[in-house]
Amino acid sequence: MRRPLIGMTAYAQQVQYGSNDLMAGMLPMTYIRAVHAVGGRAVLITPDEPGTDVIESLDGIVFSGGGDIDPAYWGAERHPETEIDKERDESELLLMKAAIEADLPMLGVCRGMQVMAVAGGGTLHQHLPDVLGNDRHRGAPGTDPLAAGAAAYGRHDVRVQPGSRSHEMLGEFLTVNSFHHQAVDDPGSFTAVGWCPDDKVIEIIEDPALTYAVGVQWHPERTNDLRVFSRLVEAAARRSGGGSTWAPVKGAGREEPLAV
């Protein structure tokens, strides 16, 4: 049987490739490898021609990380630190609302979780340093939060609400990486079920009324802990009508220490 087909929202970005300077649809391979490691088949969804027809072909969808969301969607003025991508906002909010309506299994990662909240009628904090008085939720400019020497920042604990679906999946406490300056303020139609215990920044949202709808503020695709991807693919396999014969990478989906 075929592997569950997982759509993944991608960037449209100007890139230099050899002697070519061109616009490319792209996504870090960490996302794609995470889906493949747990038995899914990843396909990219670019923002250049928005439409909901792609939902009909998918078994699940990942809303990936990236830049800021335009605060106009929740009636706020743009902060000086906010940088928007109008085309991507329009495409992903359209897809998100269609995915919710279709009960398509979904995972939101970082920006993707924020898209979930905004699509559900919620709001965001535009710049966490203004709210918290520090910048501990993201690494220094130009650094990877999991790179060697980066452990002094961009990493914190998360406490998960007992009784939630995410608690059943992840347990009550875990340590995550962190690389963002916007954050969910009001999750809208979703429910906040995970927080950074030090400052109460929302780290997980979910909708238990849907088959699988989970958003996480960190970047699990950059770690060895792929449980949120594994559960997505499991839900997608059920939706596709029987699952997959593909054997996931040994150990994928288990709780592991963050890679450094």
Specify burial of residue 24 (Cβ count, 10 A radius: 0-12, 13-18, 19+). middle
Residue 167 is a catalytic residue: no
Q: How far is it, in rounded angstroms, from Cα 169 to Cα 149?
A: 30
DSSP 8-state symbol, 220 = G
DSSP 8-state symbol, 259 = P
**230 contacts 224 by C-beta, under 8 angstroms:** no
**What is the secondary structure of 48-108 as a DSSP string?**
SS--SGGGGG-SEEEE---SB--GGGGT-PPPTT--B-HHHHHHHHHHHHHHHHHT--EEE
Find the catalytic residue in 36, 137, 180, 219: 219
Find the catalytic residue in 92, 203, 206, 221: 221
Q: How far is it, in rounded angstroms, from Cα 141 to Cα 156?
A: 18
Residue 110 is a catalytic residue: yes
Find the catalytic residue in 36, 92, 110, 206: 110
Residue 196 is a catalytic residue: no
DSSP strands (E only) in 161-237:
173-177, 183-186, 191-195, 202-206, 213-216
Run of H or E residues at 173: strand 173-177
**Could you list the active site residues?**
110, 219, 221
